[in-house]
Amino acid sequence: MTEELKLTREYIQIRTIDYFRKAGGTRPDLRLVLMADGSKIIVKDFKKSGTFFKFTLGPIMIAREYEVLELLRDVEGVPNPIQIIDRYAFAMEYVEGQSLDKISDKKLLTEELFDGFKHIVEEIHKRNVAHCDLRCMGNYMRRKDGKPHIIDFAAAMIKGKNALHTWFYNQFESADANAVLRVISKKRPDLLTTEELEEAKKVFPLERAAKAVGNPLKKIFKLLSGGKK
């Protein structure tokens, strides 16, 4: 299907059936596109984001996230990449489901689901990728078939070869594992041991540093991008 079709902006515009998010400031469009064969794909697109962000970090983020998804291709529970459309956009696999932050029914929040999230994180680490944004509950999905799915690898880090890069990567790997425990502690604390509940409270040094650096940067980009996130 998608391997044989060269996706163009014109085709995507015609076949778009919904938006999960509209572009603005530092945020990309997230389009749901209905293909001719009846399948659906997601297109992440910075073309209509804030001008400053679109011409600076937007293309870098597109190339970087696509590279990460290529490294994770065929990992069960991670969206497969489909195609780079241009420097501002790429297409990836669509999986129907519901994000964890919108699920309150404990019958759906099973031990098997959370074990599945842990397994996905272990698998992406085996491919030398750290997600780096797993404290965000919106990045966890329960698929329509009940299986776990993890999305949004925009902040992901690929393990480097020099010692300093490797040290930073190892910190984010540990933070990923801790983040899963933190999410479980919020949604199903009864599934964790006393030791795991204490571990979930742990704050990593890089977490403090990221907030100290990230929050001012967000404000700067917000101003440069017309006041939108």
Query: What pLDDT, in 10s, does the model give residues 49-104?
Result: 999 989 999 999 999 999 999 999 999 999 999 999 999 999 999 999 999 999 99
Across the strands, what pairs with 99? 141
**Span(s) in the chain for CATH 1.10.510:** 97-218
The pairing of strands 97-99 and 16-21 is unpaired
- pLDDT for the residue 223: 54
pLDDT average, residue stretch 179-188:
97
Residue 87's SS3 state is coil
- pLDDT for the residue 203: 82
The CA–CA distances, whole Å, from 7 to 35, 84, 108 equal: 10, 8, 36
The CA–CA distances, whole Å, from 82 to 74, 129, 153 equal: 12, 19, 15
The pairing of strands 140-143 and 129-130 is unpaired
Confidence of residue 22 (pLDDT cuts 50, 70, 90): very high
Architecture of domain 97-218: Orthogonal Bundle (1.10)
Rounded to whole angstroms, the Cα distance separating 20 from 95 reads 13
**Fold (topology level) of 9-93:** Phosphorylase Kinase; domain 1 (3.30.200)
pLDDT average, residue stretch 198-207:
82
**Span(s) in the chain for CATH 3.30.200.20:** 9-93
Which H or E run includes 121? helix 111-126
pLDDT average, residue stretch 123-151:
96
